[in-house]
Amino acid sequence: MTEGRPRLLLITDGTDSSGCPDALAAAYDVTLTSSDKAPLHLRSGGFDLVISAPDTASAVHGRMIGEHARTLLNAMGEGACLSDSAGVVRWANEMYRSYGTSLHTHIAELCRQATAHFNALLTRHGEVKRGHGKRYTVGIKEEQRFFEVLITPVVSRSDLEADAGDVAAEITRVAVVVRESTARRQMQSKIDAIVKAGRELAHIDVDTVRRMHAADRLKLLEEKVIRYAHDILNFDHFAVRLLNKNTDSLDLVMSYGLSEDAKDVTLKAEAEGNGISGFVAATGWSYICPDAARDERYVFGLDVCGSSLTVPIKLFDEVIGVFNVESTEVNSFGEADRQFAEIFAHSLAMALHILNLLLVERTATKEAASGTMEGELQGPLKDLVAEAELLLNQATDKESRSHLQRILRDVDAIRRRVRNVARGPQTLLGIDEALEGTQIDPLLDGRRILVVDNEPNVLEIVENLLSRCGCEVAMACTGTDAMEAITRAADGTDHLGPFDLVISDISLGDRTGYDVFATIKRVTPDAPVILMTGFGYDPHHSIVRASQEGLQSVLFKPFKAEKLIEEVKAAMKAVAAGL
């Protein structure tokens, strides 16, 4: 090659070219080649001029187009082939050739069926439309793989021209495109399994549920959630938090595989400063955290956390909580996992709704029912009050006036009790009878009792009830205050001395009922503890853990006031007996 001279490709294919190279060499750097090797030279580029006979140029052009087509078809992520009417493959790309014999056999049979179908259309209508094809699904059982097969008739111009009669030309070739659908089928199967699990979550026998208290209902649901999350979703570390509309906090209602420290994390439904769960609850958007160590929003979950997935729990398009999943590995969750978790969270929301475990909704339902009842009773009660007051004004003897005043007090009691039923866990039942019938009890007289509850109404009622029995009652609204009071009473800082009994709610906001239980057992081991719960939310398993360590009893709100007195007496009797 001479520097600066133009390059010429001379293609000779059986043509007498003697003397041409020498004649052209004076002005060009000549490369002599055949039509078979010409495409290789042309792909390398760099030639300024190409000389060939017309027929040779056409053949080279066709060969290069064919090579481009083969390159394109081999680059496809799908199998492609050209088959005759007998199912014999005349050409196939590399992907198709990579398939196993079993799939090839299935496709050969489909090509025969499709060709017969296309020719039947030709005979009936005298034509076949371009692009008209048939779709099939093929499953290879031994390989557990699935394929979608599209077979299209190959129609040339001559094929569309009818012969001398009314019968059209015969279809003798078909084009086949094969796409593997295993991943999509597996994803659909998993979605179907999640939907089925969701139905099972919500399907709880009515008679069985009727015999359960709230904690048992939640436990039953929790067992199902744990099983389905593990078996179907492969989620082994998760938490379910529900939104408390009164405090805007995300209360933990169930969890599995998380540390106690993670359960104690306090979160609110706010986009900033409350972790990923707070962000999801505030925005309603799902959130994939690929690397917990690099995500500023991530809040402590596992001792060693690599990644997390958090999706909103929605009921009728309203966010009622979050479903958070943790993994020890980074990049453990993808878009498919997000989709699966969202479907599962929807089913979980319906299950919670059906089981009536959402505190706000349950209370609202009772308030609505009591409001209706109060409205129905308002007229008759009003008339009764009017008649009693009229008679009271006319009565002159003391006994009649006493009876009429009792009627008026009973009317007020009826109204109060209807409202109390609606308040559910925020009150006790049968308060009036218990207060009227309560007097100093020798077994309880002088006993020092600590009552812990974040519902002021409950504290007031219990304090009033136990005080009438002769108890010295101290109250605390938070777990922290209760634990500090217990410690002061035990170490002598509080001159009134240690507590004889502790009555505590399980959910205190800042701490748990088990924390209070553990504190009293540490400093005053012989003091019994009674735990209370409203709707069975016990993600820390306070009841189970405390029961294993000497818990006296559990009361499920709203319980009768008489029941509380019975349990307190039983606890004091056990202490007196040294049990």
| Closest among 171, 190, 207 to 83, alpha carbons compared | 171
- 107 and 176 Cβ atoms separated by less than 8 Å: yes
343-391 pLDDT per residue, tens: 899 888 888 776 654 444 444 444 454 455 555 666 777 777 777 777 7
Residue 266 · residue 249 · CB < 8 Å: yes
- pLDDT at 553 exceeding the cut of 50: yes
Share above pLDDT 90 across residues of the chain, in percent, rounded to a whole number = 27
Answer yes or no: are the C-beta atoms of 473 and 449 closer than 8 Å. Answer: yes
pLDDT of residue 292 exceeding 70, the answer is yes
Confirm if 321 and 314 have CB atoms less than 8 A apart. no
DSSP string, 139-186: EEGGGTEEEEEEEEE---HHHHS--SSSPPPPP-EEEEEEEE-HHHHH
The pLDDT of residue 450: 96
Least confident of 262-266, 322-326, 441-445, 508-512: 262-266
Residue 475, strand partner residues: 451
Q: Kindly report the number of other CB atoms within 10 A of residue 258's CB atom.
A: 21
Indicate the fold that domain 431-576 takes in CATH: Rossmann fold (3.40.50)
DSSP β-bridge partners for residue 310: 287, 324
Question: Given a cut of 60, is residue 431 above it in pLDDT?
Answer: yes
Fold category of 189-357 in CATH: Beta-Lactamase (3.30.450)
Do the domains 431-576 and 7-75 match in fold?
yes
- Give the angle subtended at the CA of 547 by the CAs of 240 and 428, to the nearest 5°: 75
User: How many C-beta atoms surround the C-beta of residue 343 within 10 A?
Assistant: 18
pLDDT at 16: 54
- Inform me whether the pLDDT recorded for 205 exceeds 70: no
**Tally: H helices and E strands in the chain:** 20, 18
Across the range 3-24, mean pLDDT stands at 71
* Confidence at 130, pLDDT banded by 50, 70, 90: low
Arch. (CATH architecture) of 7-75:
3-Layer(aba) Sandwich (3.40)
Q: Locate all alpha helices (DSSP H) within 203-266, ordered by sequence.
A: 206-210, 214-231, 260-263
419 with 370: CB under 8 angstroms?
yes
pLDDT at 147: 93
pLDDT attached to residue 362: 44
Give 495's pLDDT tier (boundaries 50, 70, 90): confident
Q: Is the pLDDT of residue 305 over 80?
A: yes
Identify which of 265, 254, 206, 259 has the alpha carbon closest to the alpha carbon of residue 226: 254
CA distance 491 to 498: 8
Q: What is the mean pLDDT of residues 293-312?
A: 86
Helices of type H across 232-264: 260-263
Residue ranges of the domains in the chain?
A: 7-75, 79-180, 189-357, 362-420, 431-576
Residue of 13 and 490 predicted with greater confidence = 490
Q: Would you state the pLDDT for residue 333? A: 94
Give the max Cα distance, the chain: 150
Amino acid in position 253: V
**pLDDT tens sequence across 440-475:** 999 999 999 999 998 888 888 899 899 999 999 999
Q: Which CATH number fits domain 79-180: 1.10.10, 3.30.450, 3.10.620, 1.20.272?
A: 3.30.450
Between these two residues, 75 and 248, which has the higher pLDDT value?
248
Instruction: Read off the amino acid at residue 471.
Output: C
Better-predicted residue by pLDDT, 187 or 378: 187
The residues facing 305 across adjacent strands are none
Q: Express the helix, strand and coil content of the chain in percent, nearest 5 each.
A: 50, 20, 30
| 452 DSSP β-pair partners | 476, 504
Q: Would the pLDDT of 207 be above 70? A: no
Confidence of residue 68 (pLDDT cuts 50, 70, 90): low
Taking the C-alpha atoms of residue 461 and residue 429, their distance in angstroms, rounded to an integer, is: 10
pLDDT tens, position by position, 306-336:
899 999 999 888 998 999 999 989 999 999 8
Return the pLDDT at 360. 40
Of the candidates 331, 338, 249, the residue with the CA atom closest to the CA atom of residue 295: 331
DSSP H or E segment with residue 50: strand 49-51
Question: How many Cα atoms are found within 13 Å in the side-chain-facing hemisphere of 449?
Answer: 31
pLDDT of residue 262: 76
Whether residue 70 contacts residue 168, with contact meaning beta carbons closer than 8 Å, is answered with: no
| Distance (Å, whole) CA 214 – CA 533 | 9
Between 66-80, 116-130, 247-261, 269-283, the lowest mean confidence (pLDDT) is in 116-130
Rg of the chain (C-alpha set)? 41
Tell which wins on pLDDT, 122 or 335: 335
Q: Is the pTM of this model over 0.95?
A: no
* % of the chain at pLDDT higher than 70: 78
pLDDT score recorded for residue 366: 46
Please say if the pLDDT value at position 109 is more than 90.
yes
Check whether 426 has a pLDDT greater than 60: no
- Mark out the alpha helices in 307-441 (DSSP H runs): 335-354, 359-394, 398-423, 431-437
Most confidently modeled range among 135-139, 212-216, 505-509: 135-139
Give the separation between CA 104 and CA 101, rounded to whole angstroms. 5
Write 546-554 long-range contacts (CB < 8 A, 24+): 546/513, 546/514, 546/517, 549/517, 549/518, 549/521, 550/521, 551/517, 552/528, 554/215, 554/530
What's the half-sphere exposure (Cβ side, CA atoms, 13 Å) at 392? 15
Kindly state the average pLDDT of the residues 44-61. 74
In the prediction, which pLDDT does 127 show?
Answer: 56
Provide φ and ψ at 394, rounded to 5°: -95, -20
The answer to whether the bond into 558 is cis (omega within 30° of 0) is yes
- What's the rounded mean pLDDT across residues 414-436? 63
**The pairing of beta strand 529-533 with beta strand 501-505:** parallel
Query: pLDDT at position 390, please?
Result: 77
Overall average pLDDT of the 550-570 stretch: 86
